[in-house]
Amino acid sequence: MKRVFCLFLAAAAFAAAAPAGAEPPTATRLVADKSQIAFVSKQMGVPVEGTFKKFDAQVAFDPRKPEGGTVALQIDTASASLGVPMSDAELPKGPWFDTVRFPQASFQSSAIKALGEGRFEMAGKLTIKNIARQVTVPVTIAPAGGYAVATGSFTIQRLDYKVGDGEWTDTSVIGNDVQVRFKFTLAGLGPL
């Protein structure tokens, strides 16, 4: 049960992380093997971390003119993992991600604002289990070894997306807050 909740968190985290990926007109691309989306929830008060192993992003983003950029992220909900086989087997089921009916979670930016010193704020729609909510995600972008690395974290409420539905709505067992953390490594991003 607790592991299933973590899967939900992972999905939410992944979906929320989508705003961090940015691609300018000069063919910016996500370097998937150097990127990650993690989610952290609390089960019986103890933090539990999971990850999404498969995701992709389309980025059209110039850090010098962020207001004209867009970021779209797709997360394979069946790739959510808590690292425990029994919990991982529950995550794809109906009360959690219901991956047969909803194989993807997504994020689509609607506005990007520069805050200075490599910091940005991305607003957009996070969709999990066909339920869309507006989120605002803080993102920091810094150069690293020939790439640009976008990092950030934000918190969502799993019950807003019916993750952990039915008997799992009891937040004393699995908390409602899920922190989503992301690190997106980007190739071809323009100068900051």
What pLDDT digit, counting tens, does each position of 133-183 carry?
A: 999 999 999 999 899 999 999 999 999 999 999 999 999 999 999 999 999
pLDDT of residue 76: 98
The tally of domains found in the chain comes to 1
Whether 56 maps to a domain, the answer reads yes
Structural domain contains residue 192: no
Residue at 87 is within a domain: yes
Give the model's pLDDT for residue 16: 40
pLDDT tier, 6 (very low <50, low <70, confident <90, very high otherwise): very low
Q: Residue 123, Cβ neighbours under 10 Å: how many?
A: 14
Residue 38: pLDDT above 60? yes
What is the structure's pLDDT at 97?
97
Domain at 121, CATH number = 2.40.128.110
Q: pLDDT digit string (tens) for 51-98? A: 999 999 999 989 999 999 999 999 999 999 999 999 999 999 999 999
SS3 string, the chain, reads: CHHHHHHHHHHHHHHHHHHHCCCCCCCCEECHHHCEEEEEEEECCEEEEEEECCEEEEEECCCCCHHHCEEEEEEEHHHEECCCHHHHHHCCCCCCCCCCCCCEEEEEEEEEEEEECCEEEEEEEEEECCEEEEEEEEEEEEEECCEEEEEEEEEEEHHHHCCCCHHHHCCCCECCEEEEEEEEEEECCCCC
Range of the domain at 115: 2-187
Please report whether residue 112 resides in a domain. yes
Residue 146 lies in a domain: yes
Is the pLDDT confidence value at 21 over 90? no
